[in-house]
Amino acid sequence: MMTVAGLLWGAASCAAQTPQLGKHSIDRVIGAMTLEEKVQLVIGTGMAGFSGDSAVVGATQNLVPGAAGTTWPVPRLGIPAIVLADGPAGLRIAPARTDDPATYYCTAFPVGTLLASTWNSELVERVGHAMGNEVLEYGVDVLLGPALNIHRNPLCGRNFEYYSEDPLLSGKTAAAMVRGVQTSGVGTSLKHFAVNNQETNRMANDARLSDRALREIYLKGFEIAVKESQPWTIMSSYNKINGTYAPENRTLLTDILRGEWGFDGIVMTDWFGGRNAPAMVYAGNDLLMPGLPQQYETIVAAVKDGSLAVEELDRNVRRILELIVKTPRFKGYKFSNAPDLAAHAAVTRESAAEGMVLLKNDGGALPLGPGVRNIAAFGITSYDFISGGTGSGDVNEAYTVSLKDGLANAGYGFDTSLAALYQAHINAENERNKPDPDNPLAAFMPRVRAAEIVPDKARMADAVAGSDIALVTIGRTSGEFADRRLEKGDWFLTDTERTLLETVCKAYHAAGKKVVVVLNVGGVIETASWKALPDAILLAWQAGQEGGNSVADVLKGAVNPSGKLPMTFAANYLDIPSSANFPYDHVSEKPVFFPGGEENGTSERNIDYTEYKEDIAVGYRYFDRHPQGISFPFGFGLSYTTFEFSGISVTPGGDGYTVGVTVKNSGPVAGKEVVQLYVAAPGATADAPDKPAKELKAYVKTNLLKPGESQTVELRIAHTDLASWSDAADGWMTDRGNYTALVGSCSQGTLLSAAFEVR
């Protein structure tokens, strides 16, 4: 008969035989896993009827309510579930929980496009660190961001989440964000890898492009970010690339990402992305999110029938375990659920002000002088500020500071009866436009915003008499699931917005008073037809929850604007080369997550497939040769001071060249400047359009320079940075010959130049 001691010994020896993650080697843990456990680990827990957690688009109730998903725990092997949550502008979790009086608000930081407009890696890193701290303190392990798809076309509905039309600026900004978040002890997920440049039919669209455009434009930013910041994870995109779904693309996920770039983290799918689960495992897409029962079944079947080698599965399992052991949840971190939201509000306020771009400032309209005491704020968005875009890039923040409140906080008086008029109108409109409570997607879609109004003549006369200056705020919002439209109210001003702008400008100018336009937008809008009307234009972007305070800081001059455009503002949409192949006029009959696509027998241009016929001619790479089509150029942004650039030098050494230049603040107030280094390659002549006229190769933001103060900066270019992709050679090639380094504060206008030779 077995004694009690014998029983205990038996149990202990059994436990000793069951390896535990963290205590025993990953090899031993994998060796102890059943096929079923392995397959469960490579797909998330969002499997209705399988794990008990229901597969809601981007929201789980597991562990951290409102997070996007969790991985599968295997308690007998000491493998915990880890938590993944959006997104690029701050952590997205549910702000309230059932039977819990506490709140779980997160900070809405500025959208990605604004952060890229700072051209300030150190600042972006600080934003990332604050964001990462909220991830850590709310019990989340991996933040699903940053997002760095290229602004191929200004009407992509998610451009606000993304950084730039330029891969270098995108890659450097993403690298800074990853470093910042990960220094808080949590992971990131670079997304959406790759060539995810439209929302229309995003789950089945086939992006068709040359290897050169793929390498130079669409992969380059990811390459930079992977090499410079080693993100814990990467999220593959929904779309196909030249016929193969990104998550099923082994060349992309294994040969290029890991083989060429040295990525050692995990790749996860976008939510419900990809079709063929065993193909995804084989491609090196380690984790399938949020996880579906048929994925489980097909992978188990494929291993059993030998069509998927178990080694492929084991490799992905190993990478997921290597990720899990790094996470705070695995390490038993006791999160507080109480991050320092006040400190993070200060970070978002500062970063938002630094990314705002002063597009026009005639007659020194800004900063507001001592004579300006009372302000009349026109435009719905002055009272209902848009802090960010919608969809998974949204954040559940506790508040958003409106422009009106920001101005009041800065000590300005404003026209209160005008404010009352707008508020009453906005309340009535919001009631009328209430989202359909029976539509579960409504929370993800841009809400219908109040229609613009034009105050009547008498009201306008009162406003002019009672204020020293007018602001006219124009707002736009967009988000996941839909692209923007080439329509009034989106790309174009509505008739009412135009009338409002004209009426206000006429009335204020007649009284010798100035008008400032504030653009509260997530992406490019048409500006060429109206930019002559106001005295100043401040591009405030979607500036996060402290937006109104950040705008007021810039208007008042507490912050001297130093943001620069991360994209070209084209005068005419149809001049943008990609607009010939973009669904700007498509009205969708079906929600995007029920994909069409060639598998389903449809083959509609720009919907089921999109041809990237413009190739590498994206943004300034096209407009440099067609400057007449530019409304505001790439890299452009004014300051309240002036800067002089001098003493350019190019010194060869090491693996490339060092370009030096001195920047002097030659104006009246302290300010920062962005030093932009472009390089023109030997073939970059007007009659040899194979090369762009010039390309951004490095940039740096100066310190805050006092009037009269100078700073000498050094920018590095490696030989490899000068290479172009050669489809013929199937590789990167650096041409020999004479290059020109061009340095300045914008892609257009005066640039200092220096020649150098590559032998």
* Binding residues for ligand BGC restricted to 157-196, rule: CB under 6 A: 191
Query: In this structure, what are the phi and psi dihedrals at residue 639, rounded to the nearest 5 degrees?
Result: -135, 165
Task: Mark 363-392 with x for binding to ligand BGC (rule: CB under 6 A) and - for no binding.
Answer: -----------------------------x
For ligand BGC, the closer of residues 392 and 550 by Cβ is 392
For ligand BGC, the closer of residues 280 and 537 by Cβ is 280
Closest approach of Cβ 433 to ligand BGC, in Å? 24
DSSP state of 479: B
Closest approach of Cβ 50 to ligand BGC, in Å? 19
For ligand BGC, the closer of residues 68 and 175 by Cβ is 68
Closest approach of Cβ 236 to ligand BGC, in Å? 11
514-520: strand order across its sheet = 357-361, 536-539, 514-520, 469-475, 374-378, 413-414
From the centroid of its chain, how far is CA 205? 21
* Binding residues for ligand BGC restricted to 144-163, rule: CB under 6 A: 144
CB 378 within 8 A of CB 471: yes
Cα angle vertex 707, ends 704, 713, to 5°?
A: 50
For ligand BGC, the closer of residues 231 and 367 by Cβ is 231
Query: Is the backbone peptide bond immediately before 411 cis, with ω within 30 degrees of 0?
Result: no
Shortest CA distance to 148 belongs to which of 132, 165, 134? 165
Task: Mark 43-72 with x for binding to ligand BGC (rule: CB under 6 A) and - for no binding.
Answer: ---------------x---------x----
From CA 719, how far away is CA 681, in angstroms rounded? 12
434-441: long-range contacts, CB 8 A cutoff, minimum separation 24: 440/56, 440/57, 441/57, 441/481, 441/591
Query: In this structure, what are the phi and psi dihedrals at residue 553, rounded to the nearest 5 degrees?
Result: -60, -40
Task: Mark 570-609 with x for binding to ligand BGC (rule: CB under 6 A) and - for no binding.
Answer: ----------------------------------------
Closest approach of Cβ 671 to ligand BGC, in Å? 36
- The count of chain residues that interact with ligand BGC, using the rule CB under 6 A, is 10
For ligand BGC, the closer of residues 394 and 497 by Cβ is 394
Instruction: Tell me the residue nearest to ligand BGC as measured from the CB.
Output: 58
* Binding residues for ligand BGC restricted to 549-568, rule: CB under 6 A: none
* Binding residues for ligand BGC restricted to 85-104, rule: CB under 6 A: 86-87
Q: Which residues are tagged catalytic?
A: 270
User: Residue 3: how many CB atoms within 10 A of its CB?
Assistant: 8
For ligand BGC, the closer of residues 482 and 661 by Cβ is 482
Closest approach of Cβ 364 to ligand BGC, in Å? 43
For ligand BGC, the closer of residues 441 and 669 by Cβ is 441
CB 473 within 8 A of CB 381: yes
User: Residue for token digits 């509000």?
Assistant: 345
For ligand BGC, the closer of residues 56 and 754 by Cβ is 56
Closest approach of Cβ 191 to ligand BGC, in Å? 6
From CA 602, how far away is CA 148, in angstroms rounded? 29
Length of the chain: 759
* Binding residues for ligand BGC restricted to 468-487, rule: CB under 6 A: 480
Closest approach of Cβ 158 to ligand BGC, in Å? 8
On the 0-12 / 13-18 / 19+ scale of CB atoms within 10 A, 42 is: buried
Closest approach of Cβ 161 to ligand BGC, in Å? 8
On the 0-12 / 13-18 / 19+ scale of CB atoms within 10 A, 102 is: exposed
* Binding residues for ligand BGC restricted to 387-446, rule: CB under 6 A: 392
* Binding residues for ligand BGC restricted to 244-283, rule: CB under 6 A: 270-271
From the centroid of its chain, how far is CA 604? 28
Interacting residues with ligand BGC (CB under 6 A): 58, 68, 86-87, 144, 191, 270-271, 392, 480
